[in-house]
Amino acid sequence: MNVKQERFVNAYLMVGNATRAAREAGYSERSAHTQGNRMLKNDEVLNAIAERTDALQQESLITAESKRDTLWRIAQFNAQVIADDEGQLKMRNPRAATAAISELNKMDGDYRKNEGPITQVNFIQDFGGGDD
């Protein structure tokens, strides 16, 4: 890889935009768009981007599996039933548990257009926030 390609890879990893990365690598304003697209078709450049992205993910331990594990632990912790100050049993934080499960569903692609009838759900616990 030549120096400009190396600079392009480094810039692309930082900005995620081929045109901006080409400009930062030293290409002119006029040719940056074309050069950026050309760089993203170069096998050597693509391999360097992929290798460095994998290395960064490994270094920071940001993987889909670790994200799922963390979200699942958040959901489980916040769904635990505990006694409040008056002795009433309540979930720790039902909204946080629901948000974590929602994110897991998004990651797994579980949100689809509902084709069937809508099911009514009746909660047996007061989640708070009402004017009682």
pLDDT in tens, 105-129: 888 877 666 666 766 666 666 656 5
Judged by average pLDDT, the poorest of 44-48, 82-86, 126-130 is 126-130
* pLDDT (0 to 100) of residue 115: 65
d(CA 95, CA 108): 20
* pLDDT (0 to 100) of residue 27: 95
> Is residue 43 predicted with pLDDT exceeding 90?
yes
Both tokens assigned to 49: 């981007």
Q: Are 97 and 91 in contact (CB under 8 A)?
A: yes
What are the chain's domains? 3-60 (1.10.10.1400), 64-108 (no CATH)
Which residue shows structure tokens 């890879």? 9
d(CA 70, CA 43): 35
d(CA 115, CA 73): 31
